Amino acid sequence: MRVILHRTAQIWKKEEGFSLLLVFLLSALFVVPFLRQWFPGLSSVSLALFILLLVTGVLVVSESLLAVLATSLFAGAAISLEVVHRITGSDPFALWRIGFATATIGLFTVVTLLRVFSPGEVTTHRLVGAVAAYLLVGLTWSYAYEWVDTAIPGSFSVGASDPTDVYPPLLYFSFVTLSTVGYGDVTPVLPAARALSNLESLIGVLYPAVLIGRLLSLQGGGGAPPPPPADPPPQRGFEA
C-alpha cells in the first residue's frame, strides 16, 4: 500500500499529472452529475471521486510536513463524515463535514497554482494545470457557499430547485458566478453569501486575464520572463 501511494504521488507531482487532474475534474464536476439523472447508482461513483480528490490533495502537498499533516487531518475528517452522512442519511456534523472539505480542496487549489507558476519552462501541461486550478476554484467556492447556507439557512434563493438538494444548485451557481454569466435563477440573499459571490466573480474576471494570460505570454517567449535591460555603458567626458 505504501508503494502504491508513493507511486501515485509521483504521478501527481509530474507536470503530466495536470492533464490527468483536468480529466478527473471534468468527469467529477460535469459528466457524473449529468448522468446521475438517468443512472442513480452513480451516486456511489461521485462519492468515490470525492474521496479520490481529497486523497490526491494530500499526495500533492506531501513535500511539506506541516501541509501534509494539515491536509491529512482535513481530508480524513471530511471523508469520514461524508461516508457517515451517505450511510446513515443523517448529518449532525454538516458544518464540520463541509468545512473540512472546503479547507482540503482550497489547499489543493493553492498548491496546484504554486506548481503551475513555479520556476521552469512553461509547457502545455502547465497551461492545462492552470485550467484545472480554475475548476478547483469553482469547486472550492461551491463548498464555501454550501457551508454558509448551512450555517445561515436562507443565504441563497434557489429558484424552483428541490430545497433539500442544496449542493448541485450551489455548484451550478459557483461556476455561473466564476464565469460571470449570472442567469439569476440562484441568487445570494444575505450579506455573507453576497460577499463570497462578489469575491468569486472578481477572481473569475482576473484569473483568465492575468494568470492564464501571463502563462501564455511566457510560453510564447520561451517559457521565461525576458531578462532585464542591461545598464548603459558609462560615458566618458571630453579629453582636453
Residue 139 backbone dihedrals phi, psi, to 5 degrees: -70, -40
Q: Say what the pTM is.
A: 0.80
Residue 163 backbone dihedrals phi, psi, to 5 degrees: -65, -20
Annotate 126-163 with b (16+ C-beta within 10 A) or e (fewer).
bbbbbbbbbbbbbbbbbbbbbbbbbeeeebbebeeeee
| pLDDT tens-digit profile, the chain (240 residues) | 555 555 656 666 677 778 888 888 888 888 877 777 777 777 667 667 777 766 766 666 556 667 677 777 888 888 888 888 888 888 889 999 999 989 888 888 888 888 888 777 778 888 888 899 999 999 999 999 999 999 999 999 887 655 445 457 889 999 999 998 878 788 999 999 999 999 999 999 888 887 777 777 766 655 554 555 555 555 555 444
Q: Are the CB atoms for 24 and 52 separated by under 8 Å?
A: yes
Which residue ranges form the domains of the chain, and what is each CATH number? Answer: 16-35+42-220 (1.10.287.70)
How far from each other are the two terminal CA atoms of the chain, in whole angstroms?
83
